[in-house]
Amino acid sequence: MNGRDLITATMRELERVKVIEAVIEGRLRCFQAAERLDLCERQISRLCRRYEADGPAGLVSGKRGKPSNRELPIDLRAQAMALVRERYADFGPTLACEKLAECHGIRLARETVRRWMRDAGLWVPRRQRTPKIHQPRARRACLGELVQIDGSDHPWFEDRAPACTLLVYVDDATSQIMALHFTATESTFGYFEATRAYLERYGKPVAFYSDRASVFRPTYSRNGARGVTQFGRAMYELNIDTFCANSSPAKGRVERAHLTLQDRLVKELRLRGIQTMEAANAYAAAFKAAYNARFAKPPRSTFDAHRPLRDDEDLDAILTWRVQRKVSDSLTVLNDLTIYLLEETEASRKLIGHYIDVWEYPDGRIELRADGVALPYLPYDKLAEIDQGAVVEHKRLGHALQVAQAMQAQRDNRRVSGSPSRTNRGAAVRKPAALPGTKKPRAFTQADLNETILQLATQHTKQLKPASKPGRRSARAH
């Protein structure tokens, strides 16, 4: 075996040479060599004869340098790559493989297409691509020119209270915290409350910079055009621009502030024994002043870009949830699983079949408006308790599950401990026995609940079962 063969030989072939040499020299038996190389003894005998005839070169695989018996035809590869280069040059291997089978009847394995496209230079593996360079963006020049906003869902009160969300407003030019607002979830009304406090304190900034949550960017489109969220509509009426960041590092000022707040603010709340959102919002002003004195940067320009609110800008009317609903023939309006009855007047009769505006305020008030005039109505709360197919943002899913569990437990307790008339006149719920050595009853467990439900279901089935009577009808029933 010459030097070139040694270079190209694999470790497995080198091991084979050593074993066969040991067999020929008598240092190893055939069955031992067969076990070591995972071959049969007859194959070991063949390899020994090849080694004696041709030396180490006789042990080299005869398939080396030859195409595989399973290799696809060269014409098929040329045809597939010609189609990919002509029509699917910017396609990924998976999609290109699907289109070749769907449009041209060329069925290939996805990895085969991937290898061919890589060899032809039509696709570069992700690991070999040049990494994108994200250069740092310079701060804005003035205060109020760009304000980054975001919410942080975190156990701010540790184990003293459930987790909640902190809405943070950070100025891009100075890294100054402009607003802190504790709320249950990162919702539109939560941002309305925080934004109202911001506007009343500083005025209107030039723009808000946020992430792509559904509060700021709609997740649906109509006729190819993306709609407008309630927050975006309110900011448009206030003449404040809104921009969404393409990535979290793009709004790094507020993301960096989250890390500091989740450390310092949590400990400050612990030292003061604060465990409610109301008390935390009252303390937020003092913490904000201390934070800005420690971490805020001076702006490059002393100009303040905030604008005062105009006299015609009513925040009570602007910061509302507005939807349009159609008036039915019976002068009713359905919104959010609640039916509203309009007063029967000449003006309301003219609204049948037309759409009116439904305004919901942050405090829960509902107004039905037509041409800017509030209409008198009576709520007919028939479907309010039914929550069918509610759309929940991924950031609010944890809170929504907690609310669902609490409501389910409340409904289960109401059903189990209801009056006999509401439980089909069944037996009263068996109270749990007292714990040994105590006078207090033990907690009502899930096993007790399941047993009680089974008893009630059995009694209900017995009541519904008709008594058997002789006759044709009972015989047909059986």
| d(C-alpha 202, C-alpha 309), whole Å | 10
Task: Please tell me whether residues 151 and 248 are part of one structural domain.
Answer: yes
Q: Within a domain: residue 446?
A: yes
Task: Please tell me whether residues 291 and 363 are part of one structural domain.
Answer: no
Q: Within a domain: residue 138?
A: no
In a 13 Å sphere around the CA of 306, the CA atoms on its Cβ side amount to 17
The CATH code of the domain that includes 288 is 3.30.420.10
Task: Please tell me whether residues 38 and 121 are part of one structural domain.
Answer: no
The reported pLDDT for the residue numbered 473 is 38
**Is the Cβ–Cβ distance between 210 and 244 less than 8 Å?**
yes
* Predicted structure pTM score: 0.61
* 3-state secondary structure string across 70-126: CCCCHHHHHHHHHHHHHHCCCCCHHHHHHHHHHHCCCCCCHHHHHHHHHHCCCCCCH
Task: Please tell me whether residues 278 and 347 are part of one structural domain.
Answer: no
The reported pLDDT for the residue numbered 118 is 93
Q: Within a domain: residue 137?
A: no
322 phi and psi angles, rounded to 5 deg: -120, 130
pLDDT in single tens digits along all 478 residues of the chain: 444 444 445 677 778 888 888 888 888 888 888 888 888 989 888 888 888 888 887 777 777 777 777 888 889 999 999 999 999 998 999 999 999 999 999 999 999 999 999 999 999 988 888 887 777 788 999 999 999 999 999 999 999 999 999 999 999 999 999 999 999 989 999 999 999 999 999 999 999 999 999 899 988 777 766 788 999 999 999 999 999 998 888 899 999 999 999 999 999 999 999 999 999 999 999 999 999 999 999 999 999 999 999 999 999 999 999 999 999 998 999 988 788 999 888 888 999 999 999 999 988 899 999 988 899 998 876 555 556 666 777 766 777 787 788 878 877 877 665 544 443 434 444 444 444 444 444 444 555 555 555 555 555 444 444 444 444 333 333 3
Task: Please tell me whether residues 238 and 271 are part of one structural domain.
Answer: yes
The reported pLDDT for the residue numbered 132 is 78
| d(C-alpha 166, C-alpha 397), whole Å | 16
| d(C-alpha 453, C-alpha 438), whole Å | 27
Q: Within a domain: residue 67?
A: no
Q: Within a domain: residue 94?
A: yes
**Is the Cβ–Cβ distance between 339 and 380 less than 8 Å?**
yes
The reported pLDDT for the residue numbered 9 is 53
**Is the Cβ–Cβ distance between 203 and 144 less than 8 Å?**
yes
Task: Please tell me whether residues 263 and 208 are part of one structural domain.
Answer: yes
Question: Which helix or strand (DSSP H or E) is residue 3 part of?
Answer: helix 3-8
Task: Please tell me whether residues 35 and 91 are part of one structural domain.
Answer: no
Full domain range(s) for residue 108: 74-127
Q: Within a domain: residue 307?
A: no
Domain count across the chain: 5
Which residue, 268, 308, 259, is CA-closest to 288? 268
Three-state secondary structure call for residue 366: strand
The reported pLDDT for the residue numbered 426 is 40
Among the residues of 344-432, which ranges form H helices?
346-349, 397-416
| d(C-alpha 469, C-alpha 478), whole Å | 11
Task: Please tell me whether residues 285 and 152 are part of one structural domain.
Answer: yes
Task: Tell me how far apart the terminal alpha carbons of the chain are, to the nearest angstrom.
Answer: 92
Q: Within a domain: residue 300?
A: no
Task: Please tell me whether residues 157 and 233 are part of one structural domain.
Answer: yes
Task: Please tell me whether residues 151 and 268 are part of one structural domain.
Answer: yes
Task: Please tell me whether residues 113 and 54 are part of one structural domain.
Answer: no
The reported pLDDT for the residue numbered 231 is 95
- Strand 355-360 and strand 366-370: the pairing is antiparallel
Query: For residue 381, what are the CA distances in angstroms to 249, 328, 340, 359, 408?
Result: 46, 17, 8, 17, 20
The reported pLDDT for the residue numbered 346 is 87
The reported pLDDT for the residue numbered 11 is 74
- Strand 207-210 and strand 147-154: the pairing is parallel
Task: Please tell me whether residues 286 and 335 are part of one structural domain.
Answer: no
| d(C-alpha 115, C-alpha 83), whole Å | 15
Cα torsion 443, 445, 449, 454: sign: negative
442 token code pair: 């033990």
Q: Within a domain: residue 65?
A: no
